[in-house]
């Protein structure tokens, strides 16, 4: 009798573990999962173009990870992308003239936000908006510009 | 003159006899094949009819879930970890040349969730649980336990086969899901822990590229199909065995070989159906 009880327990655990694994696949691996930003404060930045930036993309200052993108929205009135950043509480002394730019890690790598601190005495706090931003560079635009330039040069005397 | 002619005639007859024998053999094995195929499918019908009888006695099912599912768990989990770790290592070495090592999470997750999880679990399941099922049922037949049950008016299909079939059918998707989850954490351990890929990039790229329906759900469908087929083959080979010790050995081998073929062949078909467009 005792053996059947352990057996039942083990089978129950198997099924629970299987369902938990399915749950992990659904929540953590696929696009259903959400990211809870504990122990952080939120900044907002507006970009003309965010390129391939995604929720949970890294936010760095001087190459060090200081936060992550927590949500991305589009402002229908100002035609700008609104990016909310969950910043680590440990790094709460960014001046309010900090510049946020979107860069690409490597040629095909992920895009991230780099913060360049300014010289102001005022600090960004929870809910502040980063005023100075630089949009992502879109490769096609760059190539288009380059081609246009070389064509103009070629048609000259 | 007449002598030499009769010799040539005899030679021709001998030759044609040999050919006739070949053709007869071909016909026999062909009929045998179709007979077996027919028995195989009728057997499934009998099992499906027997399944309601199992649901009345859940204890039988639980005992089988234990031996088919729980006892397969160690090999599935260990293999999952190592498959994930190897994928991360291989993927990293290739991706780093393009500066795209941030995509490691996508590579690991998609290959495991879509392909390796269901297929490798199916193969391991056929080897670990399928062979045990065939040997157990085959030995029951060889020692005339199944015939004994029939004498006592107990249907061996209700009592022996259907619980085992149902247990395999239920545990295989669960095992495959565990394999996939554990494999992705194995890849995480190597990629983020040892090779230094950014943790957020690993998960965020994965989450942005892996679709719940297209990838995770289709992988689960694959594992359900593989579990169904592998268990079906295993219980059939056991039930259909030649009741000698040699016959049981052969059936066990056949069970694993056929199940592996079925898993790999069906994987191609299912992949073409799901991701073909």
In a domain, B102, yes or no: yes
Measured in whole angstroms, how far is the alpha carbon of residue A125 from the centre of its chain?
A: 19
- The domain containing residue B234 runs over which residues? 57-272
B209 has pLDDT over 80 = no
Using CA coordinates, name the residue in chain A closest to B104.
A109
Selecting from A14, A22, A107 the residue whose C-beta is nearest the C-beta of B69 gives A14
What's the whole-number mean pLDDT along residues B226-243?
93
In a domain, B22, yes or no: no
Using CA coordinates, name the residue in chain B closest to A31.
B207
What's the whole-number mean pLDDT along residues B89-98?
89
Q: What is the pLDDT of residues A26-44, one digit of tens each?
A: 877 776 544 444 567 888 9
ipTM value: 0.72
pLDDT at residue B277 in the model:
60
Instruction: Output the CA angle A143-B202-A137, nearest 5 degrees.
Output: 20
Strand partners, A73: A82
In a domain, B88, yes or no: yes
Q: Based on the structure, what is the number of domains in chain B?
A: 1
Domains in chain A: boundaries: 1-33, 40-140
In a domain, B68, yes or no: yes
B57 has pLDDT over 90 = no
pLDDT at residue A35 in the model:
44
Look at A33 and B207 and tell me if their CB atoms are within 8 Å. yes
Selecting from A29, A68, A108 the residue whose C-beta is nearest the C-beta of B206 gives A29
Mean pLDDT of each 10-residue bin along chain A, 157 residues long? 76 87 81 56 88 82 84 90 87 87 77 88 86 83 87 69
Selecting from B62, B66, B113 the residue whose C-beta is nearest the C-beta of A25 gives B113
Using CA coordinates, name the residue in chain A closest to B198.
A58
In a domain, B4, yes or no: no
Q: Find the radius of gyration of the CA atoms of chain A.
A: 23
B276 has pLDDT over 80 = no
Name the burial class of residue A90, with classes exposed (0-12), middle (13-18) and buried (19+) by CB atoms within 10 angstroms of its CB.
Answer: exposed
B124 has pLDDT over 90 = yes
Any A CB within 8 A of B200 CB:
yes
In a domain, B106, yes or no: yes
């Amino acid at each position: 009798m005792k053996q059947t009880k352990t057996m039942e327990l083990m089978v129950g655990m198997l099924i629970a573990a299987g369902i938990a694994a399915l749950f992990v696949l659904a929540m953590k691996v696929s696009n259903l999962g959400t990211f809870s930003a504990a122990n952080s404060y939120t900044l907002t930045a507006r970009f003309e173009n965010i390129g391939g930036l995604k929720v949970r993309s890294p936010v760095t200052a001087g190459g060090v990870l200081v936060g992550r993108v927590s949500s991305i929205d589009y402002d229908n009135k100002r035609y700008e992308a609104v990016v909310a950043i969950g910043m680590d509480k440990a790094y709460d002394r960014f001046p309010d003239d900090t510049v946020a730019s979107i860069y690409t890690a490597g040629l095909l790598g992920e895009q991230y936000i780099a913060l360049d601190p300014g010289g102001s005495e005022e600090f960004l706090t929870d809910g502040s908006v980063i005023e100075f931003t630089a949009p992502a560079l879109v490769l096609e635009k760059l190539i288009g510009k380059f081609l246009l330039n070389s064509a103009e040069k070629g048609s000259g005397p | 003159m007449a002598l030499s002619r009769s010799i040539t005639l005899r030679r021709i007859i001998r030759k044609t006899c040999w050919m006739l024998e070949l053709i007869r053999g071909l016909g026999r094995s062909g009929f045998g094949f179709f007979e077996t195929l027919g028995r195989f499918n009728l057997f499934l019908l009998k099992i499906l009819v027997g399944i309601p009888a199992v649901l009345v006695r859940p204890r039988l099912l639980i005992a089988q879930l234990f031996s088919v599912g729980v006892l397969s768990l160690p090999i599935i989990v260990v293999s999952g970890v190592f498959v994930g770790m190897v994928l991360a290592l291989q993927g990293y070495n290739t991706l780093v040349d393009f500066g795209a090592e941030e995509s490691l999470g996508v590579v690991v997750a998609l290959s495991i969730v879509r392909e390796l999880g269901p297929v490798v679990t199916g193969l391991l399941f056929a080897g670990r649980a399928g062979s045990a099922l065939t040997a157990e049922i085959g030995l029951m037949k060889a020692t005339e336990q199944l015939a004994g049950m029939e004498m006592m008016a107990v249907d061996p299909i209700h009592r022996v086969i259907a619980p085992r079939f149902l247990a395999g059918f239920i545990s295989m998707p669960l095992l495959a899901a565990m394999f996939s989850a554990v494999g992705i954490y194995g890849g995480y351990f190597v990629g983020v822990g040892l090779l230094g890929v950014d943790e957020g990039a690993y998960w965020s790229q994965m989450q942005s590229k892996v679709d719940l329906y297209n990838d995770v759900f289709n992988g689960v469908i694959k594992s359900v199909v593989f579990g169904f087929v592998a268990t079906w083959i295993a219980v059939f080979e056991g039930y259909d065995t030649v009741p000698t010790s040699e016959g049981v050995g052969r059936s066990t081998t056949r069970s694993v070989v056929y199940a592996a073929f079925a898993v790999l062949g069906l994987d191609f078909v299912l992949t073409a159906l799901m991701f073909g467009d």
